[in-house]
Amino acid sequence: MTSVRIGTVYLIGAGPGDPDLLTVRAARVLGRCDVVLYDRLVSSGVLALAKPDAELIFVGKHEGQQEPVQSKIFSLILDRALSGKTVARLKGGDPLVFGRGAEEWALAVERGIPVEFIPGVTSAISVPGLAGIPLTHREISQSFTVITGHCSQGLQQDWSRYARIDTLVVLMGVKNRAFIAQALIEAGRDAHQPVAFIEHGATPAQRVVISDLQSVARGHVDVGNPAVFVIGEVVGLREKLAAISDSKNLTEELFV
Ligand SMILES: C[S@@+](CC[C@H](N)C(=O)[O-])C[C@H]1O[C@@H](n2cnc3c(N)ncnc32)[C@H](O)[C@@H]1O
């Protein structure tokens, strides 16, 4: 009796969009996987690095259908790996930052499937950086915190925890931006503190919106998905740092 070899699952970070921001290991492994399961935020430039005859399967989620799609992802991983295929599970940014990567990793391990984790460049740090906004700075920010602005249980949490963090980065925060800004102000954060939204970071469609917390709370700031929402004095550094950067990083709108 012949036994089928089990394929390895590579849990790969696709970075924020630009394929040049993939790790060398990610690009190499992607080029030899049989199956690629990819999310909504994985760019076409990254997918172009897959093996020409690889099976590419889109498994992005829309709001409200997270759980059915997640079950489908689990089944596809098991099916393809147990039939001997090498699987790339490609996720935007870093797979372990708000990406449910750890759940997929655990599932594969439980079924005896070998997994290799290949870290990615997370949007939480790289997208602000590409827009000239460093999350730390010796004089004005000694720490940063990354939180989700989307929560299936609602956003009822202790916002005073985040009111005092030097730099606060919110992922998935576009829809609830006014609620988040208001909650932070009520918890004691300065309403005049500068904020930035960087939409479609690290892509040709990048757009940077600069405002303040109060304007966001009042619903005056127009912004679309995906975007990284940065709150803190470091936002003010963009004026200097991005002044003579590549023009693709300079599309900017001001709402104050
Ligand atoms: C489900 S989270 C996944 C984060 C991802 N694992 C990472 O490390 O970047 C998706 C959120 O990441 C942010 N995001 C990811 N890529 C982005 C990009 N290129 N530009 C702006 N925001 C991005 C947005 O806040 C988006 O709603």
**Of 94, 118, 142, which one is at a domain's C-terminal end?**
118
From the CB of 198, is ligand 1 less than 6 Å away?
yes
92 by Cβ neighbours in 10 Å (0-12 / 13-18 / 19+) ranks as: buried
Contact 14, 120 (CB under 8 A): yes
Domain's final residue, options 95, 118, 141: 118
- Per-position pLDDT tens, the chain of length 256: 667 799 999 999 999 999 999 999 999 999 999 999 999 999 999 999 999 999 999 999 776 677 888 899 999 999 999 999 999 999 999 999 998 999 999 999 999 999 999 999 999 999 999 999 999 999 999 999 999 998 655 667 789 999 999 999 999 999 999 999 999 999 999 999 999 999 999 999 999 999 999 999 999 999 999 999 999 999 999 999 998 765 444 455 555 5
Q: Do 93 and 147 share a domain, yes or no? A: no
* CB-based contact 28:86 (threshold 8 Å): no
Does the residue 2 lie in any domain? no
- The verdict on the CB of residue 122 being under 6 Å from ligand 1 is yes
Shared domain for 78 and 181, answered yes or no, is no
Is 39 tagged catalytic? yes
What is the total count of domains within the chain?
A: 2
Domain that holds residue 29: 9-118
Among the listed residues 18, 34, 51, 61, the single catalytic one is 61
Decide whether any atom of ligand 1 lies within 6 Å of the 202 Cβ.
yes
218 and 241 together in one domain: yes
3-state secondary structure of 196: strand
**How far is residue 106's CA from residue 204's CA, in Å, rounded to a whole number?**
35
d(Cα 228, Cα 198) in Å, to the nearest integer?
A: 5
Pairwise CA distance, residues 235 & 75, whole Å: 43
Cα–Cα distances in angstroms (integers) from residue 43 to residues 13, 135, 157, in the given order: 12, 25, 33
Q: What is the pLDDT of residues 147-200, one digit of tens each?
A: 999 865 566 778 999 999 999 999 999 999 999 999 999 999 999 999 999 999
CATH number at residue 59: 3.40.1010.10
Alpha-carbon span 211 to 93, nearest angstrom = 25
Torsion sign, CA atoms 64, 69, 74, 75:
positive
Kindly give the distance from the C-alpha atom of residue 147 to the centroid of ligand 1, in angstroms, as a whole number. 12
Q: What is the pTM of this model?
A: 0.93
Output the CA 18–ligand 1 centroid distance in Å.
13
At which of 55, 86, 118 does a domain end? 118
CB-CB contact of 193 with 212 (8 Å): yes
Digit-coded pLDDT (tens) for 199-211: 999 999 999 999 9
The active-site residue out of 39, 85, 91, 94 is: 39
Question: Do 129 and 245 reside in the same domain of the chain?
Answer: yes
Spatial distance between the Cα atoms of 250 and 132, rounded to a whole number of angstroms: 9
Using a 6 Å cutoff on CB, does residue 176 contact ligand 1? Answer: no
Q: Are residues 108 and 138 in the same domain?
A: no
51 is a catalytic site residue: no
| Full 3-state SS string of 49-62 | CCCCCCEEEECCCC
